[in-house]
């Protein structure tokens, strides 16, 4: 099981991941699962009715708006970064937090490198499956590298202009 | 005839393979008449990712008595920029540098034998 | 000038330390070249043919003397004693060692400079009118907005991994010195009848292999809403721009595919949802604006007797005044353009000594203000007319007094095959050839404004698509050939040039340009520039003359 780092209470902590990722061509596993949007649309109702926690994996081209109605029932949204250069999921994350008001876990999966830590945190991602083997400490350090930021984003950090106003 | 070249990781310097070492002057490069040994060397070079970046074989052609890279681009790499003759490897002068400067009949702008296929 | 406060400085320091660590991880083998490449590119560090190249950001092309001296010092210490000013008003060092790069970033940070976002698929250095704050034409100081955008775009969490690079230019003058219409976003400031300030928003311009002049998607965006609107544009682009093919990934392709109207509609819809919370508060805009408050100008007569007398006595100065000295908004002051296009030199290159001279002049005569233009020249925006002779003399002593701004020898050229790993052909020697050919200043002045732009490959870093005469290096069976195009412009009358005919070998290019000029001189009507004549006559007479001998 790949390591999972969770951002909680301002700290990065390595945690056990209770979820199993199920590919579209795999059989369903018991317990808490992460499935694709397509599969969720087909099987989501049933799985939820069984009382399990269900997470949905969104590919970069899939728009978060497609999930808007179901969000309250979804335990986590896993945003795929098939290549770390593919930045669409940053927008997805912000829209989930800022436009849909989603409070559940937003997880980054795929080519997730510590170089992206701060960007991801700022866009509202709060769980990470790093592909570069970084530890929770390294991830935390990377996510706090910059003492100041220049924009408002999903993390509520005060941008430079607000700090200056204080 | 081929030679094996790369840029050195720490400073970007153009380097050439010679019997397991990297040398800075094209004049000192090992020349491969056969495909096999060249590719073997390339394999070794690729296993040195903290020494060089992207090693590749280049084609050579005869330039007078000597060999020169086939492509214009590779000649410039072996020499330095033509707008600043006081910069780069060409400053040292010598037979091989002169042969490169006067080599004619370039056959393509990128001499990266393998990269052509990749593109 | 905007002065960095503690926050800005700490931000740069954090960036430099991050990069030092990343270089360490690369050198130790912890990360691969592939992973590192993207990291170094976010810090402007490329691998070129002979060495690494470091592209230093010069936000909106503005420098003070201290910064220019630091660039000179870096050039001496870490490079070969010179730097190359680019069409995006940045500075490139062409002989950098990876192992030195972290130290260089520290050096830069010590004078509030950096290389952030000078490469990579992010929002690049924002450029602005090099005459900002000095020209009477402008409705506002575009630097205020450029600085606001610099901050907003720096490590933007959502927009640092766009489909492709993203370039923004802003001007507040009807005369466009920024090539706004060939940027991903061009912003042209306007003042409405009721006095409010706003931007005309032009998107989807660009060069590369599919050149486009941008389309206006909003005639008037209230200035205070700039950031939220940019966010909407970038968001639509980030979500829908193509990522399957890097040649089709720029915003221009998306705008062309959707149509400007539909693209604009999507932006407006997104913008409506974002709302004004994303905009900069007025207090921050006021803070930035105060940094660009006009420096104390003296009250001077509009005419300087000393300058007039010096011009009458010195032909070289008179020529310099005709071509390089532009009107300033304040009486008794002038904008002085410093050409980096001395005949026979590399366009855009400046030696460390020349940089120091410019720094001294800026300090002594120019209110400590220096600008870089997208045409690869420098500007001293605030010089007293009385001081122009002294400035001219000092420039002449340093070999940078060429009186050729906007003339045929003021050529833009990218580094081309002499340096660039992507090139097909050399660009610099062609520029040198043409400049030599038109060494006769009287003839060059008679020809008048003529913009030649040369790129060593279709990426078009040398803006060849928008040259009055554009020259593109191509590879014909390994030989360097050059394709000419005519009638392009990157200014307010922007247009993409038309290809004239088959590419020519290197040794025929200068001669062909000469032929084009002769046709122009023959065909022109009073007051017409080369571009105007071409637009009136069309390509036929030019084409006929250049290919006359061909069969
Ligand atoms: C190592 C050197 C360089 C490399 C590898 C490089 C790479 C590129 C590439 C790939 C493009 C095409 C991008 C696209 O259309 O998507 C491009 C465009 C451009 N580059 Fe460069 N470039 C280099 C140097 C320069 C220099 C020296 C300048 C300024 C003189 C410059 C300014 C530009 C500009 C203005 C564009 C054009 C147009 C546009 O935005 O569409 N670049 N460059
Ligand atoms: S136009 Fe081509 S050759 Fe010139 S700098 Fe750009 S990528 Fe290099």
Domains present along chain C, CATH in parentheses: 6-110 (3.90.480.20), 134-291 (3.30.413.10), 305-397 (3.90.480.20), 412-547 (3.30.413.10)
Interface test with A, best of C4, C23, C157 (most A CBs within 10 A): C157
* Partner residue opposite C47 with nearest CB, options B7, B105, B107: B7
Contact between chains at C161 and A87 (C-beta distance less than 8 A): yes
Interface test with C, best of A116, A118, A154, A160 (most C CBs within 10 A): A160
- What chain A residue is nearest to C40 in terms of C-alpha separation? A115
Contact between chains at C239 and A85 (C-beta distance less than 8 A): no
The DSSP element (H or E) to which A21 belongs, if any, is strand A20-21
Rounded-to-integer distance, Cα A15 and Cα A2, Å: 10
Statement: residue B107 has pLDDT above 80 = no
Q: Which of the listed residues C251, C459, C466, C467 should we mutate to test ligand 1's pocket, taking the one with most ligand atoms within 8 A of CB?
A: C459
For chains A and C, what is the number of CB pairs under 8 angstroms?
A: 99
Q: Residue B100: its pLDDT value, please?
A: 81
Which ligand 2 atom sits nearest the alpha carbon of residue C417?
3
Q: pLDDT tens digits for C363-381?
A: 999 999 999 999 999 999 9
Q: Residue B115: its pLDDT value, please?
A: 33
Contact between chains at B109 and C475 (C-beta distance less than 8 A): yes
**Is residue B106 very low, low, confident or very high in pLDDT (cuts 50, 70, 90)?**
low
Contact between chains at C161 and A132 (C-beta distance less than 8 A): no
Among protein residues, the one whose CA lies closest to atom 38 of ligand 1: C207
**Is residue B104 very low, low, confident or very high in pLDDT (cuts 50, 70, 90)?**
low
Handedness of CA B87, B88, B92, B94 (dihedral sign): negative
Which residues, other chains included, contact A25 with Cβ-Cβ below 8 Å and sequence gap of 6+? Answer: none
- Give me the residues paired with residue A12 across strands: A7
Interface test with C, best of A60, A87, A146 (most C CBs within 10 A): A87
Q: Which fold, A4-165?
A: TIM Barrel (3.20.20)
Least Cα separation, residue B114 to chain C (angstroms): 15
Among protein residues, the one whose CA lies closest to atom 37 of ligand 1: C461
Q: Residue B65: its pLDDT value, please?
A: 80
Q: Residue B116: its pLDDT value, please?
A: 32
**Is residue C473 very low, low, confident or very high in pLDDT (cuts 50, 70, 90)?**
very high
**Is residue B114 very low, low, confident or very high in pLDDT (cuts 50, 70, 90)?**
very low
**Is residue C26 very low, low, confident or very high in pLDDT (cuts 50, 70, 90)?**
very high
**Is residue C23 very low, low, confident or very high in pLDDT (cuts 50, 70, 90)?**
very high
Q: Residue B109: its pLDDT value, please?
A: 46
Least Cα separation, residue A99 to chain C (angstroms): 8
Which ligand 1 atom sits nearest the alpha carbon of residue C85?
30
Statement: residue B117 has pLDDT above 50 = no
Least confident of A152-156, B69-73, C499-503: B69-73
Contact between chains at C7 and A115 (C-beta distance less than 8 A): no
Q: Is C208 in the pocket of ligand 1 (CB under 6 A)?
A: yes
Q: pLDDT tens digits for A75-86?
A: 999 999 999 899
Least confident of B54-68, C405-419, C458-472: B54-68
- What chain C residue is nearest to B79 in terms of C-alpha separation? C50
Q: What is the DSSP string of C391-411?
A: HHHHHHHTT-----TTSTT--
Q: Which of the listed residues C47, C346, C419, C420 should we mutate to test ligand 2's pocket, taking the one with most ligand atoms within 8 A of CB?
A: C420
Statement: residue B119 has pLDDT above 90 = no
Please list every residue in chain B whose beta carbon sits closer than 8 Å to the beta carbon of residue C99: 10-11
* Partner residue opposite C429 with nearest CB, options B71, B82, B105: B82
Cα–Cα distance list, C307 to C297, C383, C390 (Å):
18, 12, 10
- Residue C375, SS3 per DSSP: coil
Q: Residue C550: its pLDDT value, please?
A: 61
Q: Residue B118: its pLDDT value, please?
A: 30
Average pLDDT over residues C432-455: 97
Please list every residue in chain A whose beta carbon sits closer than 8 Å to the beta carbon of residue C283: 161, 165
Statement: residue C443 has pLDDT above 70 = yes
- What chain C residue is nearest to A133 in terms of C-alpha separation? C30
The Cα diameter of chain A in Å comes to 56
**By C-alpha distance, which of C450, C449, C459 is closest to C422?**
C459
Q: Which of residues 42-81 of A touch C (CB under 8 A)?
A: 60, 63
Rounded-to-integer distance, Cα C251 and Cα A87, Å: 15
**By C-alpha distance, which of C169, C183, C157, C179 is closest to C238?**
C157
Q: ipTM score here?
A: 0.96
Contact between chains at C423 and B7 (C-beta distance less than 8 A): no
Q: Backbone dihedral region of C367: left (phi > 0), alpha (psi from -120 to 50 degrees) or beta?
A: left
Please list every residue in chain C whose beta carbon sits closer than 8 Å to the beta carbon of residue A132: 31, 35
Average pLDDT over residues C387-402: 98
First-to-final CA distance of chain B: 23
Mean pLDDT of all residues belonging to chain C: 96
Among protein residues, the one whose CA lies closest to atom 32 of ligand 1: C461
Q: Residue C295: its pLDDT value, please?
A: 75
Please list every residue in chain C whose beta carbon sits closer than 8 Å to the beta carbon of residue A106: none
Q: Do A and B make contact, counting contact as 3+ CB pairs within 8 angstroms?
A: no
Q: Is C53 in the pocket of ligand 1 (CB under 6 A)?
A: yes
- What chain C residue is nearest to A63 in terms of C-alpha separation? C239
Q: pLDDT tens digits for B1-39?
A: 999 999 999 999 999 999 999 999 999 999 999 999 999
């Amino acid at each position: 099981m790949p390591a999972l780092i969770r951002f909680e209470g301002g700290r990065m902590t390595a945690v056990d991941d209770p979820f199993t990722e199920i590919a579209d061509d795999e059989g369903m596993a018991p317990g808490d699962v992460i499935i694709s949007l397509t599969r969720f649309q087909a099987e989501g109702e049933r799985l939820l009715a069984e009382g399990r926690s269900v997470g949905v994996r969104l590919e970069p081209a899939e728009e978060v708006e497609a999930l808007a109605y179901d969000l309250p029932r979804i335990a986590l949204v896993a945003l795929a970064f098939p290549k770390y250069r593919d930045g669409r999921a940053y927008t997805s994350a912000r829209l989930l937090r800022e436009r849909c008001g989603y409070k559940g876990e937003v997880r980054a999966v795929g080519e997730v490198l510590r170089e992206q830590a701060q960007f991801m945190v700022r866009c509202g991602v709060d769980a990470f499956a790093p592909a570069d083997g970084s530890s929770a400490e390294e991830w935390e350090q990377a996510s706090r590298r910059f003492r100041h930021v220049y924009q408002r984003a999903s993390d509520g950090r005060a941008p430079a202009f607000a700090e200056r106003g204080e | 005839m081929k030679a094996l070249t790369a840029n050195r990781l720490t400073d970007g310097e153009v380097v050439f393979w010679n019997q397991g070492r990297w040398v800075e002057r094209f004049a000192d490069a090992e020349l491969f008449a056969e495909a096999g040994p060249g590719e073997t060397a390339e394999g070794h070079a690729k296993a040195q990712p903290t020494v060089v970046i992207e090693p590749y074989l280049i084609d050579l052609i005869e330039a007078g008595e000597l060999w020169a890279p086939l492509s214009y681009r590779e000649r410039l790499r072996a020499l330095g920029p033509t707008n600043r003759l006081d910069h780069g490897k060409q400053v040292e002068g010598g037979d091989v540098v002169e042969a490169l400067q006067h080599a004619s009949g370039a056959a393509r702008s990128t001499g990266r034998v393998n990269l052509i296929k990749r593109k | 000038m905007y002065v960095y406060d503690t926050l800005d400085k700490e931000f740069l320091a954090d960036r430099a330390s991050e990069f030092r660590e990343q270089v360490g991880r690369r050198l130790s083998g912890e990360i691969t070249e592939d992973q590192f490449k993207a990291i170094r590119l976010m810090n402007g560090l490329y691998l070129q043919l002979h060495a690494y190249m470091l592209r230093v950001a010069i936000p909106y092309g503005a420098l003070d003397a201290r910064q220019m001296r630091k660039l000179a010092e870096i050039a001496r210490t870490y490079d070969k004693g010179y730097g190359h000013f680019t069409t995006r008003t940045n500075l490139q060092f062409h002989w950098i060692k990876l192992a030195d790069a972290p130290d260089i970033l520290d050096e830069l940070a010590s004078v509030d400079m950096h290389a952030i976002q000078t490469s990579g698929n992010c929002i690049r250095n924002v450029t602005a009118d090099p005459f900002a704050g000095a020209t009477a034409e402008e409705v506002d100081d575009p630097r205020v907005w450029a600085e606001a955008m610099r901050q907003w775009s720096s490590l933007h969490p959502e927009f640092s991994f766009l489909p492709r690079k993203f370039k923004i230019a802003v001007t507040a003058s009807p005369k466009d010195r920024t090539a706004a219409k060939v940027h991903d976003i061009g912003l042209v400031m306007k003042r409405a009848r009721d006095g409010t300030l706003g931007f005309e928003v032009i998107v989807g311009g660009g060069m590369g292999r599919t050149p486009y002049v941008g389309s206006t998607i909003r005639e008037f965006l209230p200035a205070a809403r700039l950031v939220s609107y940019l966010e909407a544009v970038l968001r639509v682009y980030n979500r829908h721009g193509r990522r399957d093919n890097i040649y089709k990934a720029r915003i221009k392709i998306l705008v062309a595919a959707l149509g400007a109207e539909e693209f604009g509609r999507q932006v407006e819809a997104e913008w409506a949802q974002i709302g004004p919370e994303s905009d900069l508060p007025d207090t921050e805009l006021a803070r930035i604006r105060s940094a660009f408050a006009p420096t104390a100008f003296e009250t001077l007569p509009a005419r300087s007797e000393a300058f007039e007398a010096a011009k009458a006595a010195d032909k070289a100065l008179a020529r310099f005044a005709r071509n390089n000295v532009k009107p300033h908004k304040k009486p008794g002051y002038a904008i002085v353009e410093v050409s980096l296009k001395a005949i026979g030199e590399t366009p855009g290159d400046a030696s460390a000594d020349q940089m120091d001279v410019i720094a001294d002049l800026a300090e002594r005569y120019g209110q400590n203000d220096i600008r870089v233009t997208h045409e690869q020249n420098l500007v001293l925006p605030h010089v007293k007319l009385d001081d122009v002779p002294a400035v001219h003399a000092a420039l002449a002593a340093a070999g940078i007094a060429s009186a050729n701004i906007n003339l045929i020898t003021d050529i833009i050229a990218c580094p081309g095959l002499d340096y660039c790993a992507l090139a097909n052909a050399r660009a610099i020697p062609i520029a040198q050839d043409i400049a030599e050919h038109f060494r006769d200043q009287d003839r060059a002045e008679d020809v008048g404004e003529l913009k030649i732009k040369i790129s060593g490959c279709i990426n078009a870093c040398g803006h060849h698509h928008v040259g009055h005469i554009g020259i593109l290096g191509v590879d014909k069976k390994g030989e360097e050939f050059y394709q000419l195009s005519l009638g392009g412009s990157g200014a307010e009358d922007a247009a993409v040039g038309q290809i004239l005919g088959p590419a020519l070998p290197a040794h025929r290019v200068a001669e062909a340009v000469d032929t084009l000029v002769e046709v122009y001189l023959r065909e022109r009507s009073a007051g017409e520039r080369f571009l105007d004549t071409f637009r009136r006559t069309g390509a036929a007479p030019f084409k006929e003359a250049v290919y006359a001998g061909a069969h």
